[in-house]
Amino acid sequence: MWSFGILCDEFRVSSRLYLKLDIEPSREALLHFFERIRRAYPGMSRLRRREDSGLVLEEEAGESDARRLLRIDRAALKFTYHNPPDRDDVARFGDLILNQAPAHLTLSPLDIDYMEVAYTFDLEYRGNHDELVAEALFADHPLLGRFAGDGQRVIDCQPFIGITLSDDCDLQAFLEIKGRTTTFEVRSGEYESVPLSARLTLRQYNGNATFENLAAVHRDLLVRGEELSAERAVPLVVQPLAAAIASRR
């Protein structure tokens, strides 16, 4: 498994291509697209329609827990790789989808709004997620000490920060932490064991960048995401949260 997977209970890479116009291929084109993906990945044999009319082609987890998913929404193409063995495997999966999609789904560079690649680290924790995040990441910050310094319980602490990686702001990165604790759990003191997520998202807008080669754009975002995860997201967020969870077990 990719070394990132060792740091958390589940690691996944999600890619999303957002469009300006609705995807309206024929039934035949859609089935041909899904069949092309299934031939390359035979395990992706389950096709279903979501309540929001999105179409999902997915595979069941095997012994390695790695599994892939492809989803077509009204104006977006999305695909996710859960617990991937390495970046190259994610890139090959993306290459196939993004090289096949323009012809089957009638996509044009003019139609592209932006592409995202998100690196998500899920950490299972039975307890107050927001309190854990506040204490693990902001224990020495005066804001936490003064705002929640009289014994009040923290019920919402989900930091979100965005930065630009280019002078024209067309390439951006976002780091967010998503807790799933409810106020009912805080009141009752009874918590479900659910994932606390740390997510790093790279976003490339269709500005000065060229979207003639979608697979190349995707590979570039994967490289940048891996670098930022290793240099910033993991040491600054994932590892402190994992250590805090381990200390409470």
Indicate the Cα dihedral angle 191, 179, 134, 235, nearest 10°. 120
- Give the β-pairing of 193-205 and 112-126: antiparallel
Name the β-bridge partners of 191: none
Cα–Cα distance measured from residue 144 to residue 180, given in angstroms and rounded to the nearest whole number = 20
Q: What is the pLDDT of residue 66?
A: 87
Q: Which amino acid is at 246?
A: A
With a cut of 80, say whether residue 209 has pLDDT above it: no
- Choose between 21 and 62: higher pLDDT: 21
Q: Residue 84 — pLDDT band, cuts 50, 70, 90?
A: very high
Q: What is the pLDDT of residue 225?
A: 97
Q: What is the mean pLDDT of residues 137-162?
A: 85
- Choose between 148 and 12: higher pLDDT: 12
Number of independent structural domains in the chain: 1
For residue range 88-112, list pLDDT tens digits in order.
999 999 999 999 999 999 999 999 9
Share of the chain above pLDDT 90, in %: 84
Q: What is the pLDDT of residue 62?
A: 65
Secondary structure element (H or E) that encloses residue 129, with its range = helix 129-138
The pTM score is: 0.93
Q: What is the pLDDT of residue 56?
A: 96
Residue 179, classed as helix, strand or coil, is coil
Structure tokens at 25: 């291929």
With a cut of 70, say whether residue 140 has pLDDT above it: yes
Q: Give residue 7's domain range.
A: 3-247
Taking Cα atoms as reference points, which of 202, 199, 187, 181 lies closest to residue 134?
Answer: 181
